[in-house]
Amino acid sequence: MSQGVEFNRLMLEMRSMQMEAMARAKPVTATPEPGAPSFSDMLGQAVNKVNDTQQVANQMATAFEMGQSGVDLADVMIASQKASVSFQAMTQVRNKLVQAYQDIMQMPV
């Protein structure tokens, strides 16, 4: 019989804690700071930066292939590697965003 009393007391405590938590809970709304860029703006800027890096690498490679003076092979290779690394990083960010979206969509409502 003491287990039944303990269970009832525990349930009453849990309910009272739940009521307190519900009374204190206020809806959390994300209010962006004034002048702060949105997530989509930041993501778009990052994609544009990766694109610019790739274009610079392609222009340097073309200039080196054409034999223009002042374009060194080492600079072309460095620009190419920067473009490659930035593209791989962007791909990983995209993969994480897609995974997060899929996780959220699979959550029970």
**Contact partners, residue 63, CB within 8 Å, separation at least 6:** 71
- Phi/psi of residue 106, each to 5°? -90, -5
What does the pLDDT look like over 53-83, one tens digit per residue? Answer: 999 999 999 999 999 988 999 999 999 999 9
> CB–CB of 24/40 below 8 Å?
no
Instruction: Give CA–CA dist 76/56, Å, rounded.
Output: 9
What are the boundaries of each domain within the chain? 39-109
pLDDT-flagged residues of the chain (< 50): 1
pLDDT at site 32: 63
pLDDT at site 6: 73
Structure tokens at 107: 């959550």
